Structure 1
């Protein structure tokens, strides 16, 4: 009996083993090597840090290129976020991304681990470059090595390489802000079970009454509702917003230009009763309008003395001045036999205030108040000069309104229109000519500039200055005429600068 029981037990164990063996053989086993590689891959992806570079100052472009090149050489550690995306996010949030609060706000918006700030502003007369790594989680400075002083733009990459070890230590300590928790999903109210419908009994006696439908008490199955992520704004094209775009820019300390100006002059009288007043033209006469052709040296300069010490309204207030000086000019008398040396000069000085507006302050409205003098004088030869051509010396006080705009990364546009009030006109409103004259003047210009780098540009400007007179003559005056127009068109090519 015991032998039979033992035999039955052994038989049962063998049967169970035969049934479980195929199932164990069919279950796939993950190799230890595959699991370890997946863990390494996940850890490697988690170590990649999103980093953005923000650069400013005269060497900002070179510093940004050098820092982004160092980050791009280490793709397993860093992912470079375009500066335009950071500037755009900072503009939406109304923050300065170079400050601790602004850096953390922008990092939370874009998921940045660190913001690398490069400030290449000068200290005194020497250029310097200060680099700072700001933590994405709280905006604190994780690394800020001593400022380097590259003498030229070409030495900026060398300075970046020397400081890279300290910068990378800070970058490895950086952490991205914690993601915001998803919005809770409110549970749907439970559905009440449907009320059973009882059918009325039929008159057929042979057919049994229908049974009421059986309803289940199970709660309805609800599908999980996915939380729709908040759409991120598309990154803007760097062509539309620069280095410069997103936050309020630091106003320049000085801007101006110097170059060659070609100008013309046409003086025309109206209602000359006796026909004795001689018109004057300098340049090619086209229908009474003189085309620019006489050379002048042209220069202008605007200094904003408070731009380095203040932020806000007073930083945009500047002292401005300009001068145009002719050379090698000659004028002929009525007979054309004698050439007389001629001097054409204009200068003005005053105050200019610039009010930036628009996205990233790409536009600006400017108001300029000036006092100036415009001289056109024919000098005598052997103590004689043309008596039928009055020398003019306009002393004016003027107000000019302007609009400046950045059309693209390389092109700037400036348009100005103003009114000049002549305080004097030289001989033209003297007792010898027209003592009762009333006068006014308007001026306008349009400038297109092509930026060569962050400091220099090439400018082409077309301008026109027009004086108009009403003579109001009396009986007995030496000359009788209703009025006159004295206008000066110009075309200028300059090398401009802004720092």
Structure 2
């Protein structure tokens, strides 16, 4: 009996020792599964993400990024870009930079800010996307920039970078909320000691209540007087008066000019062409000396700054000196005079930033003379003296290229009213004529008033003779042109 009891006790002890390790290992398996569930819940948590796009293709980049995020509603919650920009404006930060992204994320509770930059680098547009962590603003993902040609190529560029972007998004963390400050416990005041009541006869008379202080109305604080902002200084171009209305402007200097007279369809071959200067392809290069000057006075500019202040009276004169012309044999030199003058009205209309540009309209009457004087009562009869009296309109454009350089271009049409001997009965009485003028001037300003100018100009007269049988000369037409090159000292006041 006793031996049987010992055998039963031994069997129970062996079973306990056998199953004890299994029972002890069970909690470890439970711990591993709990860890996996925690990791899965951590990955599956919804992240608040905002997209911030800039550049010429910002709309396309924002749309495709938000579409990719909205396709995964269990992972991401999209915060509107307007909320990010409003928070950045309140905080006065740049959300594209690490510090600014962290500040905006803390304000809006964002896990990440996706920054898309579609600006142009060099001549190639690009799409560069960066995922910034909401906790500290650091870049969690920044794939190599793609280079689309148009906005239509942006979606493909974003999708090529999406895998790398999502890896960064899954690493993002929201900023930790700042712990609420612990309020110190208020000290417990000791209860006041209670004094025994005095008999009624010994109770002192109640003290007189103090007069209530008069109620003072709050006085509004006077705003501090702010200094008026000084107007920004006008650009140097405007200070230089590139297109402002001066009282007077003009130029005076030295000019080289040339002349070439060529006939067309000379039936009998008796019309003699004329060249003053070196002939290059039928055009005489400037070589003869002249004194050239012009002046424009704006009489109302001293009294007002309105539209009439830009209406001016203009005039110019070119006068040659020391010219000689030879006859057909070349044996005799004849004194020669070349002169041109004009007078008229000019109106300048400024436009552009700081009135850097001006449009000119000039109406003028003028006369251009080229005369070969006689020697001993004789002069070349095969060279007609011309005296062109013209009236016409000239359009111009003036521009301040920089703080030192100005440019002026003019182009006009002149109608000849008279041509001197060339339109007389002895030459071509039934002729019709026209003329065009052009000039280009580059000026270098020495100071606010004085400048140095280099000017190139051309006058070209063209004729149709309309000959009939019996005329002394028979030709289809002619071209008489005068190129010039001037160096002048200009002024504006």
Q: What TM bracket, shorter-length normalisation?
A: 0.5 to 0.7
Render the CA deviation track for 1:425-466: whole Å, top value 9, x for unaligned.
Answer: 000011000000000000000000000000000000000000
Seen in structure 2, the aligned counterparts of structure 1 residues 250 and 389 have a Cα distance that, compared at 3 Å, is closer
Q: 2:325 aligns with which of 331, 340, 351?
A: 331
Q: 1:244 aligns with which of 238, 256, 271?
A: 238
Q: CA deviation at 1:249?
A: 7.4
Q: Residue 397 of structure 1 aligns with which residue?
A: 391
Q: 1:462 aligns with which of 437, 456, 469?
A: 456
User: How many residue pairs align between the two structures?
Assistant: 274
Q: Residue 281 of structure 1 aligns with which residue?
A: 275
1:5-84, aligned counterparts within 5 Å?
Answer: none
Q: CA deviation at 1:339?
A: 0.3
Cα distance in structure 1, aligned partners of 2:241 and 2:248:
21
Render the CA deviation track for 1:281-308: whole Å, top value 9, x for unaligned.
Answer: 0000111110000000000000000001
Report whether the alignment pairs 1:358 with 2:352: yes
Q: CA deviation at 1:250?
A: 4.9
Q: Residue 348 of structure 1 aligns with which residue?
A: 342
Q: CA deviation at 1:241?
A: 3.3
Seen in structure 2, the aligned counterparts of structure 1 residues 334 and 250 have a Cα distance that, compared at 3 Å, is closer
Unaligned runs of 5+ in 2: 1-88, 93-108, 110-176, 181-230
Larger Rg: 2
Seen in structure 2, the aligned counterparts of structure 1 residues 402 and 221 have a Cα distance that, compared at 3 Å, is same
Seen in structure 2, the aligned counterparts of structure 1 residues 424 and 244 have a Cα distance that, compared at 3 Å, is same
Q: CA deviation at 1:248?
A: 11
Seen in structure 2, the aligned counterparts of structure 1 residues 357 and 474 have a Cα distance that, compared at 3 Å, is same
Secondary structure at 1:281 match in 2: strand
Report whether the alignment pairs 1:475 with 2:450: no
CA contact 1:245–1:360 (8 Å) conserved in 2 = no
CA contact 2:243–2:356 (8 Å) conserved in 1 = no
Seen in structure 2, the aligned counterparts of structure 1 residues 338 and 262 have a Cα distance that, compared at 3 Å, is same
Seen in structure 2, the aligned counterparts of structure 1 residues 466 and 386 have a Cα distance that, compared at 3 Å, is same
Report whether the alignment pairs 1:265 with 2:259: yes
1:84-483, aligned counterparts within 5 Å?
Answer: 241-242=235-236, 244=238, 250-483=244-477
CA contact 1:246–1:360 (8 Å) conserved in 2 = no
CA contact 2:238–2:355 (8 Å) conserved in 1 = no
1:484-495, aligned counterparts within 5 Å?
Answer: 484-495=478-489
Superposition TM-score, scaled by structure 2 size: 0.53
Q: Residue 231 of structure 1 aligns with which residue?
A: none
Q: CA deviation at 1:251?
A: 1.5
CA contact 1:245–1:359 (8 Å) conserved in 2 = no
Render the CA deviation track for 1:362-420: whole Å, top value 9, x for unaligned.
Answer: 10000000000000000000110000000000000010000000000000000000000
Cα distance in structure 2, aligned partners of 1:249 and 1:256:
14
Cα distance in structure 1, aligned partners of 2:256 and 2:243:
35
Report whether the alignment pairs 1:497 with 2:486: no
* RMSD, matched Cα: 2.8
Seen in structure 2, the aligned counterparts of structure 1 residues 184 and 350 have a Cα distance that, compared at 3 Å, is same
Q: CA deviation at 1:245?
A: 5.7
Unaligned runs of 5+ in 1: 1-181, 186-190, 192-219, 224-234
Render the CA deviation track for 1:285-338: whole Å, top value 9, x for unaligned.
Answer: 111110000000000000000001111110000000000000000000000000
CA contact 1:354–1:364 (8 Å) conserved in 2 = yes
Render the CA deviation track for 1:93-132: whole Å, top value 9, x for unaligned.
Answer: xxxxxxxxxxxxxxxxxxxxxxxxxxxxxxxxxxxxxxxx
